[in-house]
């Protein structure tokens, strides 16, 4: 189902997320139409202290940067695997992986999304990563608004003692907030 162009992006998206993880983006410049696709591997989530990036210097648009976001895309003839990981409070690491002939390549940056995008493709980082896809932003917002108990993994899946301890602490905080709003 086509996604109308909105204030979040100048591109048009054809998507049925979350029923399908594949999203097709179309951008028209003059008489040329550019088409790219995205396959969302991990939607990621917004941390409590969200980092933002500018997507358009002329209009000053910004988009939120999700943690643990993984997407596969194609720019030109290059198939890219892109990841975003928060390394500490307000620090983000951006990765782009690809293969060329038999060689594997990786570029990363802790400076900015634009920096890693230009190292790999000379294109806009937010567009390479698909951060301007408004529907994904809306799903992340919905997830972050759910109670913490509905977002946590079952304790049986957490194997480390420290992970279990963190799970109990987070569960306690979430329960306390539910009891005493």
176: three-class secondary structure by DSSP: helix
Q: Which of 86, 40, 81 is nearest to 66 (CA)?
A: 86
∠ CA 10-41-8, rounded to 5°: 20
- pLDDT < 50 regions, the chain: 1-7
Residue listed under structure tokens 């029923």: 19
What pLDDT sits at residue 88?
76
DSSP symbol at 111: S
Please tell me what DSSP assigns to residue 6: -
If one counts every other C-beta atom within 10 angstroms of the C-beta of residue 75, the result is 18
In the beta sheet, which residues pair with residue 53?
63
What integer pLDDT is reported at residue 174 of this predicted model?
54
For residues 55 and 81, what is the distance between their CA atoms, to the nearest angstrom? 20
DSSP, collapsed to helix, strand or coil, labels residue 76 as coil
- Model confidence pLDDT, tens digit, residues 21-61: 999 999 888 888 888 899 999 999 998 888 888 765 566 67
Q: Where are the alpha helices (DSSP H) in 52-129?
A: 113-120, 125-129
> How much is the pLDDT for 9?
62
pTM above 0.95, yes or no: no
Burial (CB count within 10 angstroms: exposed 0-12, middle 13-18, buried 19+), residue 172: exposed
Q: Which helix (H) or strand (E) holds 162?
A: helix 161-179
Other beta carbons less than 10 A from residue 114's beta carbon: 19
pLDDT at res. 159: 65
> Cα separation of 147 and 16, whole Å?
25
> b/e for 160-171, b at 16 or more Cβ within 10 A?
eeeeeeebeeee
Confidence (pLDDT) at 5: 38
């Amino acid at each position: 189902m086509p996604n109308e162009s909105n204030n979040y992006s100048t591109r048009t998206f054809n998507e049925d997320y979350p029923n399908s993880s594949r999203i097709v983006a179309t951008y028209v410049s003059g008489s040329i139409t550019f088409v790219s696709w995205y396959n969302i591997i991990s939607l990621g989530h917004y941390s409590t202290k969200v980092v933002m990036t500018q997507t358009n210097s002329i209009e000053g648009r910004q988009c939120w940067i999700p943690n643990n976001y993984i997407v596969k895309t194609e720019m030109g003839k290059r198939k890219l695997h892109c990841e975003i990981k928060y390394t500490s409070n307000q620090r983000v690491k951006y990765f782009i992986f690809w293969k060329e002939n038999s060689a594997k390549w990786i570029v990363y940056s802790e400076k900015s999304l634009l920096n890693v995008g230009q190292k790999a493709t000379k294109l806009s980082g937010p567009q390479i990563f698909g951060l301007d896809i408004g529907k994904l932003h809306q799903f992340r917002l919905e997830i972050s608004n759910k109670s913490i108990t509905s977002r946590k993994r079952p304790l049986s899946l957490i194997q480390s003692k420290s992970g279990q301890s963190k799970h109990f602490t987070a569960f306690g905080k979430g329960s306390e907030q539910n009891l005493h709003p």
